[in-house]
Structure 1
């Protein structure tokens, strides 16, 4: 399948340029996936908005990366698995935690394990959690507000996971050590 273009700020549609510049300011570069997203101003603008909400919310960066990596694995998005492996390790996740998630398991720690399990369950059950799913998450010390907050992170990752699967951007050189084949 032919890849979508990976835009730079100069090559992006006019309505995507500001959002792409925002991505570059946050990451120091434009990830190939964001460059592909820029083909659609609606998509790149939505991504930047939800990205800001997720990373400005109540979860720590290791918690966010746990959910994002879990979602990438659950959605079988190889590009996103590589990115969130790198970002998760950078955020302080242990190698064993990252490896567990990449293997389709939850980390062994109570909080990260509960986050990972909830994220995977939300995707697998298409949001139809039962009481046991909810109680397991709450029993790990999270509140109902944070359970709903995880939905926001899952929504953000769905944007990147689906875009990665559809646009199939090339993996950046710095992410190749974290390549994932499912």
Structure 2
């Protein structure tokens, strides 16, 4: 049951009705997220206005959907992961492409560069270094697109965090959960993991680096999963992004 009440056409006041009508116009339906957000017309109006503005930006609809899916996955929002997985599927993304997006990778080089810097911004809380920005620019990401990446992170983080608080009932087909680890593959100790140019990891101090030492790794579905410490989140890199893995001898 939703923690916050879902505003319906029967319970809405005039302002709420106008906003829910706008949601219906933009999305073709009123998902539970928006019905819960309508408890505060100011919050819902701000969200819709920002969403509408960003649809007029430089990033394509496909990349915007990939960003929404990546941000939801990074923020652990199962509701939004389900919603954007469904929408991505309707846009022609395969299950493999959806899984790759959640790991910040895409076949299209430009989309891949956008997702990579978006994940860097998310995990560093915006404190990225010049090398990350330079790498994105070298891969064709414009300054306008860099700005929009931050905008989309803010927009989708708002919906993710709102879902954490409101806990609306899921009204989309469920996707693979974001909470916890569902991996069954064997973890192995690696003395070194190095990535190719354009890819990065967070080390034990939260710094963006190209290589890490003495970590645990596991390979699943064409992705290398990396744990730099027992308390750190698992980081995922697609196989083309990995330059070197040196395993420690098993005893």
TM-score (norm 1): 0.90
Does structure 1 retain, via aligned residues, the 8 Å contact 2:2–2:168?
no
Check if 1:97 corresponds to 2:94: no
CA–CA distance in structure 2, aligned partners of residues 44 and 86 of structure 1: 22
Pick the structure with more strand per residue: 2
Give the structure 1 partner of residue 121 of structure 2. Answer: 122
1:52 corresponding residue in structure 2: 52
Superposed displacement of residue 52, structure 1: 0.4
Determine the C-alpha separation between the residues in 2 that align with 1:131 and 1:9.
49
Instruction: Kindly tell me the number of residue pairs found equivalent between the two proteins.
Output: 179
5+ residue gaps in structure 1?
A: none
Shift of 1:72: 0.3
Range moving further from structure 2, 139-148 or 31-40 = 139-148
**Partner in structure 2 of residue 26 of structure 1:** 26
User: Which residue of 2 is the match for residue 154 of structure 1?
Assistant: 153
The CA distance in 2 between the partners of 1:73 and 1:181, in whole Å, is 6
Question: Match of 1:15?
Answer: 15
Paired with 1:149 and 1:7, the residues of 2 have a C-alpha distance of: 31
Where do residues 128-143 of structure 1 align in structure 2 (5 Å cutoff)? 128-143=127-142
Q: Which has the higher helix share?
A: 1
**Which residue is 2:175 aligned to?**
178
TM-score, structure 2 normalization? 0.66
Contact 1:6–1:32 (Cα < 8 Å) also in 2: yes
Conservation of the 8 A alpha-carbon contact between 1:62 and 1:93:
no
Q: Which runs of 5+ in 2 are unaligned?
A: 180-251
Q: Which structure's relative contact order is higher, taking Cα pairs within 8 Å and 6+ residues apart?
A: 1
CA RMSD of aligned residues (A): 1.8
